[in-house]
Amino acid sequence: MTNKKVSFWRVFWPSLIAGVVIITIIIVLFAGAIGSLLSSTPVYSVKDKTILHLQLKGQIGEISKNEISLNSFGMINRTGLADLLYGFEKAAKDDQIKGVFIELNGARCGYSTATEIRNAIKNFEKESGKFVVAYHSGEVVSLKQYYIASAASENYGFHSTMFEFLGLGTELMFYKGMFDKLDLEMQVIRGSNNDFKSAVEPYFLTEMSDSSRLQLQTYLDNIWTAVKTNISADRGISIAQLDHIADSGLVRRIGQAVEYKLIDGVKYRDEVIQLLADKIDIKNTDDLNFKGFEKYAQKKFEAQQKIAHVKKANVAVIVAEGNVIVEGEGLASKNITKLLRDARKDDDIKTIVFRINSPGGSALASDEIWREVKLANEKKKVIVSMGDVAASGGYYIAAPASKIFAEETTITGSIGVFGVIPYTGKMLENKLGLSFDRVSTNQHAVLSTNQKLSEKEFSMVQEEVDHIYASFLKVVAEGRGMTVEQVNAIARGRVWTGIDALRVGLIDTLGGIQDAIAYAVKDAGIKNPIVRYYPKVEKEAWVELIESFEEEENTVKGNVIPAELTEMYKRIKQVEQMSGIQARLPYELIW
């Protein structure tokens, strides 16, 4: 018997073709399954005797956002304040909703946003007569978490949970000592009298200046006063007693929070669930219907906005959020100017509410947006609503509006300008042995970070910074009906909270986004308001796909997205990254 040698190619080609066919079939089947899921968006429904479950995980923005960022290849997934406020309005009138169960878990927002949410909770209880029960568990209850939940008529906590009620404070890091060791120098240029513009102080000081300390202390005191006042009204505890509790560190655990009447009782979670069941006459807690409040609110807001973008809306709410930039992700002048221009030219739009939540940024981009706000206000009134922060460039773009609303705790002002030019030449020479030489046709043709600014070059930059500051003063003076001298007296880069900004004339009235919309509607004489938000509220198909796996009726019982999708989501989220002359808030705010 002879062994025949089989040609390699006789085996290779049939195997390759078979493999390609199998892979093709798999791809077609997989694509078909995904396509089927994407084409059949699940119907969102609410059963009778539903309890909404409010958790507020992660960042709270102005409008909900669920999308892949093409710039950072990360996942943006956040809850929107506009959605939440509208959700409370709809839930109050929804007969199938019997109440709200609050379990906050790491909400990240400023105190102005927190105040607007707690006001919505109080209005929901007052207008509907429905219950709101808050439960505090986990390792520790933060002050902001408690501040929001304290608006609920009932507050309970897990017996071994820690409780944080020590007031407000902040710590700044200064880099000068490190820079000295590295032979690195930051050449700082501020407006000539911008002593409150303290963003650059860590580069050339080792501690806060008197000006910086004054403004920090003032706005922390103002925010703390607002927090105490609201908690005092809801819990029936005097402001003096709240200060005593904080100063003496009397409340560190849930049991102590009960003792000092910050919350109503200590309960295990199953006891709270039973309490909720009793409130709506359900014997078995397994029969409770829970719905995620965030999703409920988002669905209701999306539905309302779909109608608003089909009908002829008469109120435009333009949301400007993030760092002021020319182009890209954030408060980009390229995008915002178009939205303002479109609203101005739309004859159906009778009034514009400009919602600003920004610490400022590019002076150029701020000027571009300012121009469009001014033009829009000349044709139809622009009403500004300030969020957690509308400072520096964020205030610049608000200045031309006919009326400005802000919360007591809104951080605003910071009317000033700065620039920072690092000098790296000495560091690179001493630490790495690098040296530099230059050739130029004129004296100042080579402006490099490896060469220290000459006295003449420094003065040139200083002149430009002062010019921008002078323009800033003029813009504010014109918008606010003040003299340049009056503005300069309250400017100099100083940060104000809303309560003080009202006193010095930087804003017109205290209130949130809903107050601003209500005023705009009344002022424009609109009888049947149709409010349209910009940018347009849209949802990507992949979000609907993920939502189709959710069983939000069981969120309270811990049954959520399958583990495989959760892990995929986690990995995508880990990829997410944060992304000239500046008109920017002196501090980076991390809520």
Q: What are phi and psi of 528, to 5 degrees?
A: -120, 85
List the one residue out of 492, 417, 11 whose CA is nearest residue 214: 492
Q: What is the DSSP letter of 253?
A: B
Q: Residues 286, 336: one domain? A: no
List the one residue out of 80, 102, 61 whose CA is nearest residue 272: 102
Task: Give how many domains the chain has, as a whole number.
Answer: 2
Helices H, strands E: what count in the chain?
21, 26
Query: What's the rounded Cα separation, in Å, for the pair 145 and 544?
Result: 29
Q: Residues 495, 446: one domain? A: yes
Contact indicator for 504, 496 with CB cutoff of 8 Å: yes
Q: What are phi and psi of 426, to 5 degrees?
A: -65, -40
Q: Residues 422, 292: one domain? A: no
Residue 442 has a CB neighbour count (10 Å cut-off) of 6
* Residue 171 forms part of a structural domain: no
Q: Residues 365, 286: one domain? A: no
Q: Which residue has the tokens 């009344």?
A: 522
Q: What are phi and psi of 221, to 5 degrees?
A: -60, -40
* Residue 567 forms part of a structural domain: no
Q: Residues 271, 363: one domain? A: no
Residue 192 has a CB neighbour count (10 Å cut-off) of 13
Residue type, 455: E
Q: Residues 433, 552: one domain? A: no
380 in active site: no
Query: What's the rounded Cα separation, in Å, for the pair 24 and 29?
Result: 9
Q: Residues 524, 547: one domain? A: no
Contact indicator for 164, 143 with CB cutoff of 8 Å: yes
* Residue 426 forms part of a structural domain: yes
Q: Which residue has the tokens 């101005």?
A: 344
Domain that holds residue 462: 312-529
Domain with residue 112: its CATH number is 3.90.226.10
Contact indicator for 498, 113 with CB cutoff of 8 Å: no
Residue 481 has a CB neighbour count (10 Å cut-off) of 8
Q: What are phi and psi of 423, to 5 degrees?
A: -110, 110
Which is catalytic among the residues 137, 362, 385, 392?
392
Alpha-carbon distances of 526 from 78, 317, 349, 529, 530, rounded to whole Å: 32, 15, 10, 6, 9
Q: Which residue has the tokens 């003076």?
A: 477
Find residue 187's DSSP bridge partners.
Answer: 421
Q: Residues 382, 504: one domain? A: yes
3-state secondary structure 157-186: ECCCCEECCCCCCCCCCCCHHHHHHHCCEE
Classify burial at 129, counting beta carbons within 10 Å of its beta carbon; exposed 0-12, middle 13-18, buried 19 or more: exposed
**DSSP states of 75-117 as a string?**
EEEEEEHHHHHHHHHHHHH-TTEEEEEE----EE--HHHHHHH
Which is catalytic among the residues 197, 267, 291, 300?
197
* Residue 125 forms part of a structural domain: yes
Q: Which pLDDT tens digits describe the chain residue by residue (591 residues)?
A: 445 555 555 555 556 566 665 666 555 555 555 555 555 555 678 899 999 999 998 889 999 887 665 555 555 668 899 999 999 999 999 999 999 999 998 889 999 999 999 999 999 999 999 999 999 999 999 999 999 999 999 999 999 999 999 999 999 999 999 999 999 999 999 998 999 999 899 999 999 999 999 999 999 999 999 999 999 999 999 999 999 999 999 999 999 999 999 999 999 999 999 999 999 999 999 999 999 999 999 999 999 999 998 889 999 999 999 999 999 888 999 999 999 999 999 999 999 999 999 999 999 999 999 999 999 999 999 999 999 999 999 999 999 999 999 999 999 999 999 889 999 999 999 999 999 999 999 999 998 999 999 999 999 999 999 999 999 999 999 999 999 999 999 999 999 999 999 999 999 999 999 999 999 999 999 999 999 999 987 665 555 555 555 444 445 544 444 444 544 444 444 333 333 555 666 555 555
* Residue 302 forms part of a structural domain: no
Classify burial at 212, counting beta carbons within 10 Å of its beta carbon; exposed 0-12, middle 13-18, buried 19 or more: buried
570 in active site: no
List the one residue out of 14, 532, 499 whose CA is nearest residue 222: 499
Q: Residues 372, 514: one domain? A: yes
Three-state secondary-structure class, residue 243: helix
* Residue 576 forms part of a structural domain: no
Q: Residues 288, 437: one domain? A: no
Three-state secondary-structure class, residue 276: helix
Q: Residues 391, 518: one domain? A: yes
**DSSP states of 384-425 as a string?**
EEEEEEEETHHHHTTTTSSEEEE-TT-EEE----EEEEEE-H
* Residue 45 forms part of a structural domain: no
* Residue 464 forms part of a structural domain: yes
Q: Residues 499, 443: one domain? A: yes
Q: Tell me which H or E stretch contains 52.
A: strand 50-54
